[in-house]
Amino acid sequence: MKHLLVVFTGGTIGSKRQGAGIDVDQSGSYSLIEAYNNSPLYRDDVKLQAVQPLNLLSENITPDDWQALAAAIRGVDLDAYAGVIVTHGSDTLAYSAAMMGYLFADTRVPVVLTASNYPLSDERSNGLRNFTNAIDFIANDALPGVFALYENDQGEPLVYLGTRITQSVSFTDQFGSPYGIPYGTMVNRRFVWREHARNPKPETLTQPPVSRFEWEPQTLAIDTGIVYIKPYPGLNYSFYDFAAKPPKAVLHDLHHSGTACAIEEGPYSLPKFIARCLALGIDFYICPIRDRSDARYSSSLRLIEAGAIVIENMSIEAAVTKLMLAYGLYDTKDQAAAFVTGTSLYYERNEVQ
C-alpha cells in the first residue's frame, strides 16, 4: 500500500459554483477525493491522506500563503509517503510551482502540483483527470522532485518541472514552458520523459542537487520588495516614482528578442529609468533572455551598459520567485545577484545538459 499526502489549497479544483460565480468551498476539495474513489481509474494500492492549510482562489495567494504551504509540507514526515499532491488554482500555479521547486529542490519523493480548468461538477473539467494522473505519476514512477501536471487542450497530460512551467495564457487557458518543452507526458498511466538536450534525464533527478539553501518554516523570508514591469509601446517610466518608498529590486520583462525601449532620452527611455533606479539604490534585473551573447540588438546592449543585471535562460515566473527568495536571504546586491544568476537550485536555468 502506497500512502500519498494530498495538500488542498483551494482553487478551481476545490471550488463549487456559488450562485452566478465560482468560489472555494470547504467541502469542494474533499469532493475531489470522493470523485476519485468512485472513478473507474481508482486504484486500491494507494491510500490518500489529506490536509488543507489554505482554502483560497489562487489569484489571492500571497507569499504568506506560500510560507503556510511550505510549512505544511515540511511539517510532515515525508518518509512516510510515496509522494505529495498539491491541488492549486490555475491562475498562479506557475509561480507557486517555481517557489515550491526552490524550497523542496532536495525532496526525495515526488511533489506534484495540479489544477483544474473548471469546477469538478462541470463536464468540461479536467480536474479529476489531472488528479488521477498525479496519483499515477507518483505511484508508478516515484521520480523525486517538484513537478506540475496539467492536461492540455489536446488531452495530453503534460508534466513540467516545477521551475519550468509558465503562466496559463488568456483565452486558451494553456500552460507553457521555456522553449516549448515540457518535461514529459503521461501515457497509459506511466510517465514518458520528453527526450531533449535541455531536459535533465530522469536519473539526474535522483542525484542530490548541486546547489541548495537551508530554510526552516519559522525563519523563511520571502521578500515582496520586488517590482515586476512588463514592456509595451508607450510605457512611461515617469509614473514610477520610487523616491518615497523604493523597492529592493526591479525585474523588467523583455520582448521576445530580448529588447525593450532603449532610446536615449525621454520618459519612455528604459536606460534612463535604469539609471534613476540605480541612483536610488534599487537593483535592476532584465529577463527573459537566453544568454548575454544573445543580446545581439543594440537596444539590448544599451540596457546592459546602463547597469541592468541579466537573468539568463530563466522564465519570468522562475526569476521573480527566485528574486523574492534572494532578497529574503541576503542584504547586499552582490549576494542576491550571485544567488539569482550564479546558482541553479532546481533546473530553473534552461541550459543544454
Least Cα distance to 2 among 32, 44, 50 occurs for 44
**Residue 44, phi then psi, degrees to nearest 5:** -90, 5
Q: Is the pLDDT of residue 299 over 90?
A: no
Question: What is the rounded CA–CA span in Å between residue 118 and residue 40?
Answer: 21
Kindly indicate the confidence band of residue 22, based on its pLDDT and cuts at 50, 70 and 90.
Answer: very low
Mean pLDDT of 206-234: 92
Neighbour count for residue 312 (Cβ, 10 Å):
18
CB environment 72-96: b (16+ within 10 A), e (fewer): bbeeeebeebbbbbbbbbbbbbbbb
CB environment 177-193: b (16+ within 10 A), e (fewer): bbeebbbbbbeebebeb
Neighbour count for residue 287 (Cβ, 10 Å):
26
Q: Summarize pLDDT for 100-135 with one digit per residue, the tens.
A: 999 999 999 999 999 999 888 889 999 999 999 999
Q: Is the pLDDT of residue 82 over 80?
A: yes
Question: What is the rounded CA–CA span in Å between residue 194 and residue 192?
Answer: 6
- Contact indicator for 92, 60 with CB cutoff of 8 Å: no
pTM assigned to the model: 0.94
- Contact indicator for 165, 177 with CB cutoff of 8 Å: yes
Kindly indicate the confidence band of residue 31, based on its pLDDT and cuts at 50, 70 and 90.
Answer: confident
- Contact indicator for 44, 55 with CB cutoff of 8 Å: no
Per-residue DSSP letter, 13: G
Q: Is the pLDDT of residue 297 over 90?
A: no
Neighbour count for residue 261 (Cβ, 10 Å):
20
Q: Which three cell numbers stand for residue 323?
A: 528574486
The verdict on whether omega for the bond into residue 288 sits within 30 degrees of 0, i.e. cis, is yes
pLDDT of res. 20? 40
Residue carrying the nine cell digits 490518500? 48
- Contact indicator for 220, 244 with CB cutoff of 8 Å: no
pLDDT of res. 208? 82
Mean pLDDT of 280-301: 83
Q: Which three cell numbers stand for residue 286?
A: 532584465
Kindly indicate the confidence band of residue 175, based on its pLDDT and cuts at 50, 70 and 90.
Answer: very high
Active site residue 12: yes
Q: Which three cell numbers stand for residue 86?
A: 498539491
* Domains detected in the chain: 2-206 (3.40.50.1170), 226-342 (3.40.50.40)
To the nearest whole number, what is the mean pLDDT of the chain? 92
Residue carrying the nine cell digits 530580448? 258
Question: What is the rounded CA–CA span in Å between residue 69 and residue 217?
Answer: 10
Helix pair 298-305, 270-279: axis angle to 10 deg: 10
Per-residue DSSP letter, 143: -
CB neighbour list of residue 20: distance below 8 Å, 6 or more residues apart: none
pLDDT > 70 fraction of the chain, expressed in percent and rounded: 94
Neighbour count for residue 335 (Cβ, 10 Å):
13
Catalytic residue among 12, 87, 114, 341: 12
CB neighbour list of residue 261: distance below 8 Å, 6 or more residues apart: 231, 233, 235, 268, 269, 270, 299
Question: What is the rounded CA–CA span in Å between residue 18 and residue 271?
Answer: 48
pLDDT of res. 298? 73
Residue carrying the nine cell digits 483527470? 129
Alpha helix ranges (H) inside the chain: 26-37, 63-74, 93-103, 127-136, 270-279, 298-305, 316-329, 333-342
